[in-house]
Structures are given as structure tokens and as C-alpha cells.
Amino acid sequence: MSTVNSATSSEVINNLQKTSSSGSPKAMEMGTQSSFLRLLTEQLKNQDPLSPMDNAQMTSQLAQISTVDGLGKLNTTLSTLLESSQSGEAMQAAALVGKGVMVSGNGLSLSSGKAYGGFELTSPADKVSVTIKDSNGLEVRTLELGDYDAGVFNFAWDGLTNNGSKAVDGSYSLSVKATRGDTSLSPTALQLGSVNSVLRTSAGSVSIDVGGGKLVTLSDIKQIL
């Protein structure tokens, strides 16, 4: 009388594990169940009457098949949640098209004698100052902004230089310094951008074009204006 040995069981389990990592969810579920039923039927039909299958062995195989089946269903659920999350993120990003946003960066654009920038503090500061430089790295204006709590803030520059003259419209850079008592803090400079478009990559991630060739994610946006 033929018997089904443990090697056969291992081969079936291995095949089930391979099935769980590829193929459609429906085919994966059907393949898992049918393979297990075939294994169980063959083992019961061909077992040696004088040495029937050990209950512990059967319990172990049931646990393995349950784990494989559970992993398949978990993968399906996670894939569905991920796809839903990515679609939701794309919709949120699309709603920002045409809006001004503050993102990490040190760019500052002066237009019609006005420019706007920002900064982020992770802890309160007694003194915050912003230094504005031209394209040659020369200091144009230093703004003393005073004290701030932790958070995200913006500021306006009227286009005047330190000597009171008017700066020409164009691109400038900014740097932010902050202190609390004798301790120097590490603020993050923020630049103003305008959301031009939303890009979705083949991997499903979402990138947002905020102008100047700068691409950011939703989590990079610190403030919506």
C-alpha cells in the first residue's frame, strides 16, 4: 500500500507559498484551497492503516496552510489599501493646483517690489533674523523678526536694502538664524512656490511641481496660502 510521506507534504506547502507571492488574488485563494484539499485527500486515502497519520503532523500542516492562506489575503488587503491611499493622495494634490505653498528651500523671488518667504521652528526662539542675498552672494537686507513660538511662519520683504534703496526685481536667496538665550537653534528656511501640476509615477507615488523645476511630495508642503 502506498503512503504519502512528509516530502510530498513539504513540496505542496512550498508550491502554495510560491503561489501566494504571484498571480491574481482569486487564483491564489483557489490554488491554495484546492492544493490543500488534494494533499489532505491523498494522505488520508493512502495512509498506512497500521500506522495512521499522526495528529500532530496533521495539525502542523493545517497551521501551515492557514498561514499561507492568511498571508495571501493579507497581501490582497494591503494592496487594496495602498492603491486607495495613493488615489486619495493624488486627489488631495490635484486640489492644490494654482495655490501658493511653502516648502523647504532658500529661494526668494522679488516681484513688483514684494517678496514672501518663511521658516519653521521646532522650538520657541527669543530672536529670529532673516538674511537676504543677491545672486552674487552679497547681503542685501537683514530682517530682525523678533521672538516666535515653535511652528511654521512666513514674512514679507518690501524690497528695500539695508541702506534704504530699492532692490531690483529678480531671484534672491534667504537664510534664517534663531536663538533662545545663548543657544543657537536650527530653523528651516521655506520658499514660496505655486503648484503648477501633479505627477503620478509608474510606481504610484505622487510628485507636485511647485515651479523652478522643484518637485515635492504632499508631506514636504509646510503651509498652504
Q: pTM score > 0.75 for this model?
A: no
| Integer Cα distance of 171 and 30 in angstroms | 62
Whether residues 78 and 116 share a domain: the answer is: no
- The pLDDT value recorded for residue 51 is 60
Give the cell for residue 60. Answer: 502542523
If one compares 143 and 12, the residue with the highest pLDDT of the two is 143
Q: Is the pLDDT of residue 70 over 70?
A: no
147 forms beta bridges with: none
- Asked if 151 and 119 sit in the same domain, the reply is yes
Quick one: cell of 91? 486627489
Query: Stretch 111-131: mean pLDDT, rounded?
Result: 97
Final residue in a domain of this structure, among 58, 92, 126: 92
Q: Which domain holds residue 166?
A: 104-194
CATH number of the domain at 136, please. Answer: 2.60.40.4070
Adjacent-strand bridge partners of 117: 155, 191
Do 142 and 70 lie in one domain? The reply is no
> Is 128 inside any structural domain?
yes
Residue 201 to residue 193: CA distance in whole angstroms: 21
- The answer as to whether 1 is a domain residue is no
d(CA 105, CA 172): 12
Number of domains observed in the structure of the chain: 2
Residues 12 and 50 in one domain: yes
Residue 53 within any structural domain of the chain: yes
The answer, yes or no, to whether residue 68 has pLDDT greater than 70, is: no
- Note the pLDDT tens digit of each residue in 32-49: 556 666 766 666 666 656
